[in-house]
Every structure is written in C-alpha cells, then in structure tokens.
C-alpha cells in the first residue's frame, strides 16, 4: 500500500499559485481544459489536478502547462532564464568537491 505523502504549507501554497496561474493563462488564451490537456499530452483529469494545485502532479507536466499558456517560470524570457541557470552553475562550481558530488557507495561485501 502506498503511504500518503505530506507537504509543507509553503509547497502547497506554491502549487496552488502555479495552478491558479495556469488556469488564468488558459482562460486568457481561450483554451478549454481538454485543449490544454491535449497540448501537454495528459488527461483532462491530470490537467485539472495541475490547475487545482495538486502537489502530486509531476513537475514537468505542471511546468509544460505553464509554459504553453505563458506563465513565466523563474524569468520572463528564455535569455534571462539561461542567465539565471548559468549564475547558479557558477555558484555550484565554487563549492568544495566533497559537497558537489555524493560519495561512491561501497556495496562490495
């Protein structure tokens, strides 16, 4: 039996905000739930879960729906998003090696 997953209040609020923005963007583009679901490649039920902020929906599906209806994800345009990604990579590069890579598991008993 699958154990239910719990989420922090912050996670739940962020999922609801993303879902509401997807719904707003979909309506602004005059798309039905079925239209958006087809473009994303999921069922209408899954698309409704995205719009209602269900945190159990795969991240890629939620992001794809947001991108299709024009909800900005982290930045308004792709060039800004690329700059932000490069900035994060630069910050990661200065971390000590032991922090960047997990140790190899020694499972040779």
Contacts of 20 (CB under 8 A, 6+ apart): 51, 53
pLDDT tens for 31-77 read 999 999 999 999 999 999 999 999 999 999 999 999 999 998 887 77
pLDDT tens for 8-33 read 999 999 999 999 999 999 999 999 99
Strand partners, 75: 73
Question: pTM of the predicted model, to two decimals?
Answer: 0.77
Integer Cα distance of 41 and 98 in angstroms: 40
Looking at domain 9-70, its CATH architecture is Orthogonal Bundle (1.10)
**Residue 65 · residue 22 · CB < 8 Å:** yes
Res 93: pLDDT: 83
Q: Where in the chain is the domain with CATH 1.10.260.40?
A: 9-70
- Tokens 């008993």 identify what position? 109
């Amino acid at each position: 039996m699958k154990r239910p997953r719990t989420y922090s209040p912050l996670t739940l609020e962020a999922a609801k905000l993303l879902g509401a923005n997807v719904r707003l963007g979909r309506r602004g583009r005059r798309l039905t739930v079925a239209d958006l679901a087809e473009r994303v490649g999921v069922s209408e039920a899954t698309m409704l879960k995205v719009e209602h902020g269900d945190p159990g929906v795969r991240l890629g599906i939620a992001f794809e729906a947001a991108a299709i209806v024009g909800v900005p994800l982290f930045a308004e345009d792709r060039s800004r998003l690329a700059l932000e990604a490069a900035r994060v990579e630069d910050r990661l590069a200065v971390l000590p090696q032991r922090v960047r890579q997990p140790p190899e598991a020694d499972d040779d008993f």
